Amino acid sequence: MFSRNMSNSIVRNNNVHNEVKGIFISKSHNNKIDNNTVSDSEDGIVVKFGSSRNMIDENTIINSKLHGIFVNSSSSANRFYSNIVKNSVHYGIYAEDPASVNNVFYNNKLINSSYAINPHNKIYAKSVNIPSSSNR
């Protein structure tokens, strides 16, 4: 699911499976992305190219081959609240670009996933590692 130059829109209640980028927003502002499920994709939710003031809330991302949530390319002032990222191969949340600032990650649950950030972002994420035999 790809959106470029999208503003004031809602992306809700979608199931995305086995895509290169599950949900990808570029140059997009003031959108609400919530209650979506992304599974078996390379990246779960990608926010890039100057996207700002988006609310990414209560999504579930499972079995990402790279990153559950990936923020890059001067994307700033986005909010990531109460997302579940389970079994991401590289990072559950990856926000390393020094030009992507003031993104807030709050109450996100990482299951068998880690996170990487830059010092300009605030991440409040609960990392929960459960043995794979217990994951259902």
- The model's pLDDT over 6-59, given as tens digits with 9 standing for 90+, comes to 999 999 999 999 999 999 999 999 999 999 999 999 999 999 999 999 999 999
Q: What residue has token string 């895509």?
A: 19
Give domain status of residue 6, yes or no: yes
Number of domains in the chain: 1
Give domain status of residue 75, yes or no: yes
Give domain status of residue 91, yes or no: yes
Give domain status of residue 135, yes or no: no
Give domain status of residue 109, yes or no: yes
Distance CA 12, CA 118 (A): 28
Q: Residue 14's domain spans which residues?
A: 2-129
- Rounded to the nearest integer, the mean pLDDT of the chain is 87
> Is residue 80 a contact partner of residue 59, using CB atoms and an 8 Å limit?
no
pTM: 0.86
Distance CA 73, CA 54 (A): 15
**Tokens for 108?**
């996100």
Give domain status of residue 92, yes or no: yes
In sequence order, the 6+-apart residues with CB closer than 8 A to the CB of 124 are: 104, 105, 106, 107, 108
Q: Which residues pair with 88 in a beta bridge?
A: none
Give domain status of residue 13, yes or no: yes
Q: In whole angstroms, how large is the CA radius of gyration of the chain?
A: 13
Distance CA 77, CA 104 (A): 7
Give domain status of residue 134, yes or no: no
What pLDDT, on a 0 to 100 scale, did the predictor assign at position 20?
Answer: 93
